[in-house]
Amino acid sequence: MRVRKVVVFFGVITCVWCSLPSDQDFWLRLAKEELEESLRVKWNLGIAKNVILFVGDGMGPNTVTAARIYKGGETHRLVFEKFPHMGMLKTYSANKMVPDSACSATALFCGVKANQETVGLDATVKHKDCPASLRPESRLNSLAALALKAGKSAGLVTTARVTHATPGPLYAHSADRKWECEDEMPSEAAKCKDIARQLVEDWPGRDLHVVLGGGRQVLVSNSSGSPADPLDTWSCISKDGRNLINKYKEDKKSRGLKYSFVSNSKELKELNAAKTDYLLGIFANGHLMFEHERNKGPEGMPSISDMVEASIKVLQKNKNGYFLMVEGAKIDLAHHRGWAKRAVDETVAMENAVQLAMSMTDERDTLIIVTSDHTHTLSINGYPYRGTNIFGVVGPSNYDGVNYTTLSYGTGGPGAFQYYIETVGNESKVIRKDASLEDTDRFDYEQISAIRLIENSHGGGDVAIYARGPHSHLFHNVHEQHYVYHAISYAAKIGAYSDANINSSNYTIITILLAFTIFVTL
């Protein structure tokens, strides 16, 4: 029975493959088009008035490849894969070969490598060391902080909680990424402020012009869950009586600032950006829903594209420009559960947001970057025929005769450990489940993994970085991850590369040279 199914399966595959163009003219045309495209590339040496940094959390190279095939086939390219410049980033942290999102986001946004699970702090601060995190010299300035100091606007968009590990380093300094609210903080950390309070009470968080994402349960105590918006039991849930959303509103009113607070798609869509300089949008207790399952009605949660559109409308009013970080967080969250199709679908959702940002900005003055903080252990296996479903089945294995999925993981949770023990008489052997007997195209199908954990772990491989706009050519080979902060600072002329600092530096050099000349002539 199994052999007959495999024969039919391969018969279908062969037909799909035979229908795809493969003659010499097809390949020559593809190569010629790429060559002509490459010859048209010119360096943009202008100043990046605006910077939009997209972070596909957990979006390793194999995830990008799978998303490309899912959307348009093997010869397709995602919009950011057409950017004129790209490189690779080394993602290791200060103390681990494989990073988490807190330390890798700190590297991206703050310019130095940090220890695992710390937020916005240098590597002198160890995980959970509250006293060390209070040292001013250990606290890092983010790209958002540099933008604000330069008179630009700054903001963040995420499909996770706004206090989560990736957005956190833009405004917070915490020795533990889990200290999103008071309920996760031990008594010995009483002198440290949780991440949610830092967002609303401290600079630069309170001065961010756009904050859009989830996380109501860490901002407002005793938030109630529902089937459409459940509480996130993996996260901190505040119980101290706080209402930081009200505190945000009171702060803006007391300073006479024009602000808006929105909580669903309808309110975001109807936002009057002309009358809004500060925008806070909290759309879920925990993370936002996956794109394929979110309520797309007016009372539901907005898409990542919806949030990007509203953000740019608010930020672009500043004549000095802006910095915006956009995180496609659910890519990572899907990978952690072994849901490859959800991860890939979330990658395509973020690609749509990139395309929207491109349509709303000018390449001459806006630097758009797409990258990731780390990889996952996703792999693309076997020898599936071209044109077949990336979530489909190949095989049978020439070792055990059992079919398997094109996508699999190195590590996975219990559902992805697709083996069982079969006992015949006195002999027992490990049997792998036949993937062709299941619907592997489901959004909640868990791909097989080699090593069983509570959930999938991150990968330690390099991630790609794609760039277009002013000084995008600075991304051109294999870079350290924290290099991104410095390249963006240089392109936008902020921080150490602002006109004031450059002029001051030049003045110091000229003064030293003049003093040396006078000394020599005496």
Tokens for 226? 């529902």
Q: Return the number of other C-beta atoms located less than 10 Å from residue 76's C-beta.
A: 12
Longest pairwise C-alpha distance within the chain: 102
3-state secondary structure of 12: helix
68 Cβ partners below 8 Å, 6+ apart?
74, 76, 77, 78, 81
Give the pairing type, strands 393-394 and 419-424.
unpaired
Task: Find the angle CA(60)-CA(265)-CA(199) to the nearest 5 degrees.
Answer: 65
In DSSP notation, 243-287 reads BHHHHHHHHHHHTT--EEEE-SHHHHHT--GGG-SEEEEE--SSS
Dihedrals phi, psi of 281, to nearest 5 degrees: -130, 120
3-state secondary structure of 402: coil
Candidate list 19, 22, 38, 101, residue with the active-site label: 101
What distance lies between CA 407 and its chain's CA centroid?
21
Enter the DSSP assignment of 80. Answer: G
Residue 154: name the closest of 165, 145, 141, 163 by CA. 145
3-state secondary structure of 353: helix
CB 459 within 8 A of CB 411: no
Tokens for 477? 């080979």
Between CA 66 and CA 85 the distance in angstroms is 21
133 belongs to the catalytic site:
no
Residue 173: name the closest of 187, 154, 193, 147 by CA. 193
Q: Return the number of other C-beta atoms located less than 10 Å from residue 26's C-beta.
A: 12
Query: DSSP H helical segments within 150-192, as ranges?
Result: none
CB 102 within 8 A of CB 115: no
In the chain, % helix, strand, coil (3-state, to 5) comes to 40, 20, 45
Peptide bond into 204 cis (omega under 30): yes
CA distances from 433 to 47, 51, 397, 401, 403 (A): 56, 48, 12, 11, 8
Q: Which amino acid is at 398?
A: N
Q: Which residues are catalytic?
A: 101
